Amino acid sequence: MLHNDEIRQYCRENPKATTREIADRFNISMDRAYAVKKRVQQSAENQPVETPEGYKGVLTKGKMWQLHDGSWRESLQFEVDWKEKWDAFKVEFLNDLAMLGTFHFEPVKKKVEGDICLEISLPDLHFGKGDIHESTQNFIDTVFELLAKAEKFGVERILLPIGNDGLNSEGKRKTTTGGTPQEDSVDWQESFRHYWTTLAATIKVLSATYPVDVIVVPGNHDMERMFYIGEVLSSYFKSNDKVLINNSGEYRKYYEYGANMLMFTHGDKEKTASLPIIMATEQPEMFARTKYREAHLGHFHKEMLNEYCGVKTRFLPSICITDDWHKMMGYSHLRAAQAYIWNKKYGLEGYFQVNIHEKQIKKQTH
């Protein structure tokens, strides 16, 4: 006669074995297999284990139930040792800081004085979709190529909106903020780390020559994680008086430069025709002080321009790749980025554009 000690020994050696597997192995009933396994689990509670996600902790509870079709389900609850996870994160975080400390650059030899704010806008980067190293390279190369084109006009300061779907998903759950599934090419920690260090390195180089105003724009893919990115960057640059980061909780953010008023929002929520009245309602004093007003939006990955009541609404292009789903649906866009020249007195005086092409993708970023 089969003794329960044999079954219990098997359960201890194979903690992930299901009740069905145990019953089939020993040719016993599901009820008996469940009873033996439950006692083994109860005796193992509060003992060190490794969770299915790879975290260390202790098993606190185990249960199983039968569905209407006769199949069985079971659930294990763990208390994770977050201290170990936090210690590991701190080590990785300090390594990132050390890497940024070795980032070398050559400052501009001669800065041309002027009354120009250069807005470098690269929305919808979707870090985590496609090759993460190519995304990093394209971002850095594009920012400094746009800056090189504009420096001769006498740039006084730089406006750098970030976010606007800077990350492809909200992280571990692999969905947009609203829950739409996403296919990321790297895990959520790697996409977060690559994006924030890429931004930090870029801002660090820019601020060596110019004051840099950073505006964190939440998107429909990354509303939560962009706030975390903004907090990390705010902490990293807290002692740099040439870097100002706007990471307020507002969905729409505003920027004033001389006679210019800019609104930044992702573009997936508001009706574009209503943006002028929204601007005037939310920022009446800024609206009254300024003469040239625009709303800059992302979301569609392509350039679209309209004007309502003297306020221009401008959807900006993106350098993001076209994934398989967009190709299947027939959606395509010119991969490009733009930088806008804002004169303190006379408004928008033009913009530069960089198109992402094969030659640029093959360049090496140092």
Listed in sequence order, the residues at least 6 apart from 164 whose beta carbon sits closer than 8 Å to its beta carbon are 123, 124, 217, 218, 219, 264, 266, 298, 299
The backbone torsions φ and ψ at residue 217, rounded to the nearest 5 degrees and listed phi first, read -110, 115
| pLDDT the model gives residue 216 | 98
| pLDDT the model gives residue 48 | 59
The backbone torsions φ and ψ at residue 55, rounded to the nearest 5 degrees and listed phi first, read -85, 150
Q: Chain-wide mean pLDDT for the chain? A: 85
Asked if residues 361 and 143 have their Cβ atoms less than 8 Å apart, the reply is no
Asked if residues 235 and 198 have their Cβ atoms less than 8 Å apart, the reply is no
| pLDDT the model gives residue 364 | 43
pLDDT tens digits along 169-182: 998 888 999 999 98
CA distance readout (Å), 318 to 125, 165, 243, 300, 351: 7, 10, 25, 8, 15
What is the b/e burial string over 143-161, where b = at least 16 CB atoms within 10 angstroms of the residue's CB? Answer: bbebbebbbebebbbbbbb
Identify the CA nearest to 232 among candidates 81, 55, 89: 89
- The helix/strand count (H/E) of the chain reads as 11, 14
Give the pair of three-digit tokens for residue 146: 């746009």
Domain ranges (residues) in the chain: 4-80, 104-361
Q: Which of 76-80, 113-117, 239-243, 265-269 is the least confident region?
A: 76-80
Give the pair of three-digit tokens for residue 211: 């004051």
How far apart CA 172 and CA 3 sit, in angstroms, is 44
pLDDT at 206 over 60: yes
pLDDT at 77 over 80: no
Mean pLDDT of 69-75: 69
End-to-end CA distance of the chain: 72
Asked whether the domain spanning 104-361 has the same topology as the one spanning 4-80, the reply is: no
Beta bridge partners of 341: 118, 350
CATH of 4-80 among 1.20.120, 1.10.30, 3.40.50, 1.10.10: 1.10.10
| pLDDT the model gives residue 233 | 97
How far apart CA 149 and CA 104 sit, in angstroms, is 21
| pLDDT the model gives residue 366 | 36
In this structure, whether the domain defined by 104-361 belongs to CATH 3.60.21.10 is answered with yes
How far apart CA 70 and CA 66 sit, in angstroms, is 6
| pLDDT the model gives residue 3 | 73
| pLDDT the model gives residue 321 | 79
Looking at per-residue confidence, does 66 or 139 come out higher?
A: 139
Give the pair of three-digit tokens for residue 57: 């902790």
Categorize the per-residue pLDDT at 56 as very low, low, confident or very high, splitting at 50, 70 and 90: low
What CA dihedral angle connects 338, 339, 342 and 346, to 10 degrees?
-50
pTM beyond 0.75, yes or no = no
Beta bridge partners of 352: 339
Listed in sequence order, the residues at least 6 apart from 86 whose beta carbon sits closer than 8 Å to its beta carbon are none
Categorize the per-residue pLDDT at 247 as very low, low, confident or very high, splitting at 50, 70 and 90: very high
The CB density around residue 16, as the number of other CB atoms within 10 Å, is 7
Categorize the per-residue pLDDT at 4 as very low, low, confident or very high, splitting at 50, 70 and 90: confident
State which H helix or E strand residue 190 sits in: helix 188-206
pLDDT at 25 over 50: yes
- Which residue is listed with tokens 């002080």? 289
